């Protein structure tokens, strides 16, 4: 059975990991303490945590490393430094439309995000 992944915001992911960390450590962490744990300046982290700002690529990379969660890139609208993703992006235009559509349909089975409609259909 395939579990669909719901797309979350950076704010939701930080809240989720904040709660997990508190459970693991058995103590409460303020947002400032969490910022120190992650290695991002407290004021900047507060903006990320509240959803007022999206992380930069470097901050997303740091959040991924600390929390072992690659979803921070997607939530921030940043393409990950993944060789497979980069290869697909570089070569996407060479694939016939039917192949592109089949790949998109296959990926949609793993995502809660709806498959985009085809132009002209």
Residue 93 CA to residue 100 CA, distance in Å, equals: 9
**Quick one: pLDDT band at residue 20, thresholds 50, 70, 90?**
very high
Residue 101 CA to residue 29 CA, distance in Å, equals: 45
- Domain CATH code at residue 41: 1.10.260
pLDDT average, residue stretch 49-59: 96
**Quick one: pLDDT band at residue 5, thresholds 50, 70, 90?**
low
Domain assignment present for 55: yes
- 25 and 46 housed in the same domain: yes
Q: Residue 87: which domain range? A: 82-121
Instruction: List the one residue out of 104, 73, 111, 72 whose CA is nearest residue 88.
Output: 104
Instruction: List the one residue out of 13, 67, 15 whose CA is nearest residue 39.
Output: 67
Number of independent structural domains in the chain = 2
- 70 and 22 housed in the same domain: yes
- 64 and 119 housed in the same domain: no
- pLDDT the model gives residue 73: 92
- 65 and 91 housed in the same domain: no
pLDDT average, residue stretch 16-33: 96
């Amino acid at each position: 059975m395939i579990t669909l992944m719901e797309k979350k915001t950076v704010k939701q992911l930080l809240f989720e990991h904040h709660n997990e960390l508190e459970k693991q450590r058995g103590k409460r962490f303020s947002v400032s303490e969490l910022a120190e744990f992650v290695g991002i300046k407290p004021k900047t982290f507060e903006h990320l945590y509240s959803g007022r700002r999206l992380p930069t690529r470097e901050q997303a990379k740091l959040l991924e490393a600390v929390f072992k969660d690659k979803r921070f890139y997607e939530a921030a609208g940043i393409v990950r430094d993944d060789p497979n993703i980069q290869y697909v992006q570089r070569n996407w235009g060479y694939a016939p439309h039917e192949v592109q559509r089949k790949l998109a349909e296959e990926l949609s089975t793993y995502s809660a995000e709806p498959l985009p409609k085809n132009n002209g259909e």
